Amino acid sequence: MKSQEMTNTTSFMEVIGVLRKHIKLIIITTLVSLFATGFVTFLVMTPKYESTTEILVNRKLSADLQAAQFQQVQADVQMISTYKDIITSPTVLNSVNKEISSYPGYPGSESALAKSISISNQQNSQVFSVTAKSTDPATAAAIANKTAEVFKQKVGKIMSVNNVSIVSSASQEQTPYSPRKLLNLLVGTVIGLIIGIGLSLIREATDKTVISETFLTDDMGWVNLGQIEEINFKTFESDATSRIASAHLASEAIVKDRRV
């Protein structure tokens, strides 16, 4: 048990050692990913805005029908699903598309307009929300408001009912919902860190350089026959020059002695 724990500890320390060895690579990769994400987020991606209007579905009943109020509320709630389909139908969007086609940030077509509109509501609630998205805040608000107005006009004729009213109109939101700058930068940093760690481990795994004697004796099982020290070329050249000079002086001294 202790041996296994020691092995796990050793493996963990080896990984830490590899990461320390390639710390420059990890830092550079992280910074590159962060700068690339920041460039795309701040300079490439187009900000998008959204605005929401709320619609109430509530049919007013006469005094003698108040006992059926609960059943009527449930019926109105169930009708919201049908109303969602009507809002995104060509019957409504065709008129909306004609009204906002000249606005800045116009989605470009009726089908793109339908994709820019989303509808949501809480369970058992008679209120549902119409949210429009655009690259221009004023256009987003105009799409939401115009969709609600056209729907209110059309639904009475289509369904022969008068139970729809606009609770609140959409207003311009000056803060874009996309891109989420801080989140993008955080994601870019994490991705760069992961890539850097991955490259470090891959580089270490593919590095076949022998850096220690223990690798040859313990891992490979080879016998150490000796060591060769690294020789600095400048030192070697200097020593060789000195030896040649000494030999030259010695030879000159020998010649002088012979002459004498």
Q: Tell me the per-residue pLDDT of 32-54, one tens digit each, with 9 for 90 and over.
A: 999 999 999 999 999 999 999 99
Q: How many percent of the chain have pLDDT more than 90?
A: 41
Written as six digits, the tokens of 178 are 């996309």
Average pLDDT over residues 140-150: 94
Q: Does residue 218 or residue 55 have the better pLDDT? A: 55
CATH code, domain carrying 127: 3.30.70.1130
Residues 126, 58: contact at Cβ < 8 Å? yes
The CA-atom distances, in angstroms, between 29 and each of 8, 182, 202 are 28, 19, 14
User: Is residue 201 located within the same domain as residue 231?
Assistant: no
Domain boundary among 138, 168, 198: 168
pLDDT for the residue numbered 228:
67
Summarised one tens digit per residue, pLDDT across range 212-223 is 666 667 666 677
The answer as to whether 174 is a domain residue is no
Q: Which of 171, 50, 53, 148 is nearest to 96 (CA)?
A: 148
pLDDT for the residue numbered 253:
57
- Hey, how many other C-beta atoms are within 10 angstroms of the C-beta on 159? 14
CA atoms of 192 and 181, how far apart (whole Å): 16
The answer as to whether 108 is a domain residue is yes
User: Is residue 62 located within the same domain as residue 129?
Assistant: yes
The answer as to whether 175 is a domain residue is no
User: Is residue 36 located within the same domain as residue 113?
Assistant: no
The answer as to whether 173 is a domain residue is no
Average pLDDT over residues 184-193: 96
Q: How many domains does the chain have?
A: 3
User: Is residue 70 located within the same domain as residue 145?
Assistant: yes
Phi and psi torsions of 39, nearest 5°: -65, -45
Q: Is the pLDDT of residue 127 over 70?
A: yes
Summarised one tens digit per residue, pLDDT across range 2-15 is 445 545 555 778 78
User: Is residue 17 located within the same domain as residue 69?
Assistant: no
DSSP lists the bridge partners of residue 57 as: 164
- Identity of the residue numbered 132: A
User: Is residue 69 located within the same domain as residue 21?
Assistant: no
- Report residue 75's pLDDT band, with 50, 70 and 90 as the boundaries: low
The answer as to whether 192 is a domain residue is yes
Segments forming the whole domain that contains residue 241? 213-259
Written as six digits, the tokens of 169 are 């109109």
User: Is residue 184 located within the same domain as residue 114?
Assistant: no
Q: Which pTM value belongs to this model?
A: 0.67
- Hey, how many other C-beta atoms are within 10 angstroms of the C-beta on 92? 24
